[in-house]
């Protein structure tokens, strides 16, 4: 304990910029030395993808090498660089504090993206994991608007996601791809990546419209009853798609163009975080909390409760639709089975694990459950014993999730830590 | 002076039960009106009928000459009827400042798009609302609690938050539903002071339900007595105090035989 505290004290004056620099160093070490020297010397067959968790579970003999690899590649460079550049990074952070907040945010995000790009570039599997994790972040934030901020227990999220995924897939296949389902492309495929954002937005709006089916019953019911209605909505969407043969029915749709690249998804994730953050910190967005905590009081305080509920559902569903569209273009294959009860369990696990009423919580929840899910993949069935167990412990010790009722404070996050 | 609020022959049935019968009310600007009556007389029902929670079966309600029967509660509130609740109705996950800011909802014009993209108009209005909220917090002496959750405040302070919140909606008439319920004598005296102050500073009319005679007699200029949904007496405090019907309703009939 004493050592841990000392250790923490040593690094408490490192600003966010310093940590990013440290991670950059670690990633550069891995990029240039990872395969040729470090993993070869340690006797690893290749660079450990997710910090070696997969290898550990498959082949326990490798554990010492994996630990050594993680220490050499990640921990040592990060600690050395952050420690030795601390005076410089604090100066930079102080300088950035004087610039407008959006500029310093963009600089930090650009640096973060660069690091992530380098790290992911080493391996295709990493790219896929990061893409799916970011899609999960968008999904978790969007369900947090309904289940956290608005406080309804809605189970219809896979349905909204399916609507978004199908609408955007149909549009891209129809417009930009020659395939057997919709015939020749209507527009030159060079336009595709540029029009992709609009297609995603159309998918989002379609999902938002479909959410009215759940939003309107929510005027009169709450809690368990609304959960049942929303669950019904999810199954209706699923079986409706299964019975529509012109979009593939139960077989699904494939060969979506590869428009959802890493930077595209990253931009959408940041956009989601930014807009949802703006909304939930404004008085308009706080109205969601007011309606959740006491509807009668909100009405008497001039809050339009019905409008607020509709906004919450449509807004949440819109981002779920966007996430669905991105998801379809990451996997480049969707079928109705993808948007079923298992997906619902995953989304709910992420939002309740991470924390209700908090964007940071959603990010933490989405990242930890997605990465945990990937890392525990070798355990196969046991994965579904371990993750629920973790969830149960979170529910016992932190009933609202790990980080709940907290909003991001960008200024505080990036400030310098001079002593 | 012309009346702010006019309620005429209002009657309301809950199923077969007649909760309110032929109720009339006239509130003049800056008048403090009290509504008293034994438990179950229908006082809170009258509040709910006027503020639009229920729609009266018969009768008219006019706010400054405009009919408000059938409007949604939030619309009526935005027209200038602020209220507090008998059992505190606060938002338990929100802090005190957010409560006061929330009550400015109907005064915001930046719209959804403004809040999504945090436009200059949105920032400007939110800043104005925040300034006004701090002013109200100061007036009600709860500024020191601004960033605390309401559930952590003492009872008296919670009551004051509720009052401040009602005042933030910019009401013409303030409806107080048992403002001193569950208060100690000290807090009661403080409450009288606050209500007087609100009355003077904001020049609002006040309509209140209360059980404590001392409180009602001290504050109100006009008192109505309600028994089983019907008015049995109304007038200035002195008249009510000595009215045999009121004494009968509260204390029972004197048996002389």
User: Which of B89, B103, B118 is the closest to A278 by Cβ?
Assistant: B118
What pLDDT is stored for residue B257 in this prediction?
A: 57
Kindly give, in sequence order, each residue whose CB lies less than 8 Å from that of residue A302, ignoring residues fewer than 6 positions away. Answer: B74, B77, B78, B103, B105, B106, B169
Kindly give, in sequence order, each residue whose CB lies less than 8 Å from that of residue B110, ignoring residues fewer than 6 positions away. Answer: A284, B119, B121, B122, B125
Q: What is the DSSP letter of A337?
A: G
Most A CBs within 10 Å, among B73, B114, B167, to test the A interface: B73
What pLDDT is stored for residue B188 in this prediction?
A: 86
What pLDDT is stored for residue A383 in this prediction?
A: 82
What does the mean pLDDT of chain A come to?
A: 90
What pLDDT is stored for residue B256 in this prediction?
A: 60
What pLDDT is stored for residue A416 in this prediction?
A: 81
Distances (CA, A) of A314 to A210, A303, A309, B53: 8, 18, 9, 26
Per-residue pLDDT band for B241 (boundaries 50, 70, 90) equals: confident
Question: How remote is the C-alpha of A192 from its chain's centroid?
Answer: 24
Residue A199's closest CA among A237, A221, A232, A166?
Answer: A166
Per-residue pLDDT band for A419 (boundaries 50, 70, 90) equals: low
In sequence order, what are the beta bridge partners of B195? none
Contacts of A297 in chain B (CB under 8 A): 85, 89-91
Evaluate whether B147 touches B97 at the Cβ level (below 8 Å).
yes
CA distance A320 to B67: 43
Strand, helix or coil for residue B141: coil
Burial class (CB within 10 angstroms; exposed 0-12, middle 13-18, buried 19+) of A258: exposed
What pLDDT is stored for residue A319 in this prediction?
A: 96
Do A293 and B94 make contact, defined as CB atoms within 8 angstroms?
yes
In chain A, where the domains are located = 2-106, 124-412
Which CATH fold topology does A124-412 show? ABC transporter involved in vitamin B12 uptake, BtuC (1.10.3470)
Is any Cβ of chain B less than 8 angstroms from the Cβ of A302?
A: yes
What pLDDT is stored for residue A55 in this prediction?
A: 79
Per-residue pLDDT band for B23 (boundaries 50, 70, 90) equals: very high
pLDDT at A34 over 60: yes
Average pLDDT over residues B177-205: 87
Q: Searching chain B, which residue's CA lies closest to the CA of residue A405?
A: B93
pLDDT at A200 over 60: yes
Average pLDDT over residues A117-129: 90
Per residue in B87-102, pLDDT (tens digit) is 889 999 999 999 999 9
Identify which of A20-34, A269-283, A403-417 has the greatest average pLDDT: A269-283
Of B2 and A93, the one with more pLDDT: A93
Do B74 and A297 make contact, defined as CB atoms within 8 angstroms?
no
Question: What are residue B177's phi and psi, to 5 degrees?
Answer: -95, 105
Do B74 and A282 make contact, defined as CB atoms within 8 angstroms?
no
What pLDDT is stored for residue A164 in this prediction?
A: 96
Per-residue pLDDT band for B62 (boundaries 50, 70, 90) equals: very high
- Structure tokens given for A311: 């906004």
Do A286 and B83 make contact, defined as CB atoms within 8 angstroms?
no
Q: Within chain B, what is the greatest distance between any pair of CA atoms? A: 79
Do B118 and A282 make contact, defined as CB atoms within 8 angstroms?
yes
Is any Cβ of chain B less than 8 angstroms from the Cβ of A292?
A: yes
In sequence order, what are the beta bridge partners of B6? B26, B62
Q: What percent of chain A has pLDDT over 70?
A: 100
pLDDT at A201 over 80: yes
pLDDT at B32 over 80: yes
Is any Cβ of chain B less than 8 angstroms from the Cβ of A393?
A: no
Per-residue pLDDT band for A183 (boundaries 50, 70, 90) equals: confident
Average pLDDT over residues B69-75: 92
pLDDT at A231 over 90: yes
What pLDDT is stored for residue B54 in this prediction?
A: 92
Contacts of B108 in chain A (CB under 8 A): 283-284
What pLDDT is stored for residue A220 in this prediction?
A: 84
Average pLDDT over residues A298-319: 94
Per-residue pLDDT band for A328 (boundaries 50, 70, 90) equals: very high
Do A303 and B165 make contact, defined as CB atoms within 8 angstroms?
no
Average pLDDT over residues A94-98: 88
Do B91 and A290 make contact, defined as CB atoms within 8 angstroms?
yes
pLDDT at A273 over 60: yes
Per residue in A344-375, pLDDT (tens digit) is 999 999 999 999 999 999 999 999 999 888 88
What pLDDT is stored for residue B75 in this prediction?
A: 93
Is any Cβ of chain B less than 8 angstroms from the Cβ of A101?
A: no
Per residue in A278-287, pLDDT (tens digit) is 999 999 999 9
What pLDDT is stored for residue A4 in this prediction?
A: 85
Sign of dihedral through CA atoms A33, A39, A40, A45? negative
State how far residue A206 is from chain B, nearest Cα, in angstroms. 18
Is any Cβ of chain B less than 8 angstroms from the Cβ of A297?
A: yes
Per residue in A149-168, pLDDT (tens digit) is 999 899 999 999 999 999 99
Contacts of A302 in chain B (CB under 8 A): 74, 77-78, 103, 105-106, 169
pLDDT at A191 over 80: yes
CA distance A224 to B35: 39
Do A279 and B166 make contact, defined as CB atoms within 8 angstroms?
no
Of B242 and A157, the one with more pLDDT: A157
Angle in degrees, CA A303, A309, A310, rounded to 5: 115
Q: Identify residues of B whose CB sits under 8 angstroms from chain A CBs.
A: 51, 53, 72-74, 77-78, 82-83, 85, 89-94, 98, 101-106, 108, 110, 112, 114-118, 122, 126, 129, 165-166, 168-169
DSSP B65-96: TEE-TT--HHHHHHHHEEE--SS----TTSBH
Q: Searching chain B, which residue's CA lies closest to the CA of residue A151?
A: B93
Per-residue pLDDT band for A87 (boundaries 50, 70, 90) equals: confident
Average pLDDT over residues B171-185: 88
Per-residue pLDDT band for A70 (boundaries 50, 70, 90) equals: confident
Kindly give, in sequence order, each residue whose CB lies less than 8 Å from that of residue A66, ignoring residues fewer than 6 positions away. Answer: A44, A48, A51, A52, A55, A56
């Amino acid at each position: 304990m004493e050592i841990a505290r000392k250790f923490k004290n040593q690094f408490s004056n490192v600003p966010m910029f310093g940590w990013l620099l440290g991670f950059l160093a670690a990633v550069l070490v891995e990029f240039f030395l990872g395969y040729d020297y470090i993993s070869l010397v340690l006797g690893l067959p290749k660079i450990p993808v997710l910090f070696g968790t997969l290898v550990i579970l498959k082949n326990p003999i490798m554990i010492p090498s994996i630990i050594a690899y993680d220490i050499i590649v990640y921990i040592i460079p990060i600690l050395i660089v952050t420690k030795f550049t601390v005076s410089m990074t604090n100066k930079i952070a102080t300088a950035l504090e004087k610039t407008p907040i959006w500029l310093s945010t963009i600089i930090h995000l650009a640096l973060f993206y660069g690091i992530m790009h380098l790290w992911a570039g080493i391996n295709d599997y990493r790219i896929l994991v990061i893409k799916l994790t970011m899609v999960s972040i968008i999904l978790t934030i969007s369900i947090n608007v309904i289940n956290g901020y608005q406080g309804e227990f809605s189970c219809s999220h896979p349905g909204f996601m399916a609507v978004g995924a199908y609408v955007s897939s149909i549009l891209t296949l129809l417009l930009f791809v020659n395939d057997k389902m919709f015939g020749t492309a209507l527009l030159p495929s060079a336009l595709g990546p540029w029009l992709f954002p609009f297609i995603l937005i159309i998918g989002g709006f379609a999902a938002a419209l479909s959410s009215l089916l759940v939003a309107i019953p929510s005027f009169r019911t709450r809690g368990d009853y609304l959960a049942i209605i929303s669950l019904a909505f999810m199954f209706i969407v699923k079986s409706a798609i299964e019975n529509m043969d012109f979009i593939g029915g139960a077989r699904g749709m494939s060969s979506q163009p590869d428009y959802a690249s890493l930077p595209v998804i990253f931009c959408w994730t940041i956009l989601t975080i930014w807009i949802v953050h703006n909304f939930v910190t404004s008085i308009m967005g706080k109205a969601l909390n007011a309606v959740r905590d006491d509807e009668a009081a909100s009405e008497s305080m001039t809050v339009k409760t019905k409008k607020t509920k509709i906004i919450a559902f449509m807004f949440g569903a819109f981002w779920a639709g966007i996430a669905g569209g991105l998801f379809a273009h990451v996997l480049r294959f969707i079928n109705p089975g993808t948007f079923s009860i298992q997906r619902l369990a995953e989304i709910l696990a992420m939002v309740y694990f991470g924390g209700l009423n908090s964007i940071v919580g959603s990010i933490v929840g989405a990242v930890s459950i997605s990465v945990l899910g990937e890392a525990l993949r070798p355990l196969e069935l046991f994965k579904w014993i371990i993750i629920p167990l973790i969830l149960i412990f979170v529910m016992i010790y932190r009933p609202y999730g790990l980080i709940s009722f907290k909003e991001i404070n960008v200024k505080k996050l990036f400030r310098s830590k001079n002593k | 002076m012309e009346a702010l609020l006019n309620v005429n022959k209002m009657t309301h049935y809950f199923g077969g039960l007649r909760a309110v019968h032929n109720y009339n009310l006239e509130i003049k600007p800056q008048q403090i009106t009290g509504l008293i009556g034994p438990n179950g007389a229908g006082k809170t029902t009258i509040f709910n009928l006027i503020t639009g929670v229920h729609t009266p079966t018969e009768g008219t309600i006019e706010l400054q000459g405009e009919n408000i029967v059938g409007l949604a509660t939030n619309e009526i509130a935005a027209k200038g009827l602020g209220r507090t609740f008998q059992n505190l109705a606060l938002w338990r996950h929100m802090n005190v400042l957010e409560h006061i800011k929330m009550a400015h909802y109907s005064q915001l014009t930046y719209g959804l798009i403004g809040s999504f993209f945090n436009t200059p108009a949105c920032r400007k209005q939110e800043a104005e609302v925040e300034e006004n909220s701090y002013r109200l917090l100061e007036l009600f002496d709860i500024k020191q609690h601004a960033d605390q959750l309401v559930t952590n405040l003492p009872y008296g302070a919670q009551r004051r938050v509720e009052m401040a919140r009602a005042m933030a909606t910019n009401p013409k008439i303030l409806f107080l539903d048992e403002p001193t319920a569950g208060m100690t004598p000290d807090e009661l005296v403080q409450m009288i002071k606050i209500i007087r102050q609100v009355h003077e500073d904001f020049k609002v009319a006040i309509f209140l339900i209360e059980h404590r005679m001392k409180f009602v007699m001290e504050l109100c200029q006009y008192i109505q007595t309600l028994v089983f949904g019907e008015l049995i007496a109304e007038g200035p405090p002195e008249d009510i105090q000595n009215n045999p019907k009121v004494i009968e309703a509260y204390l029972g009939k004197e048996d002389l035989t």
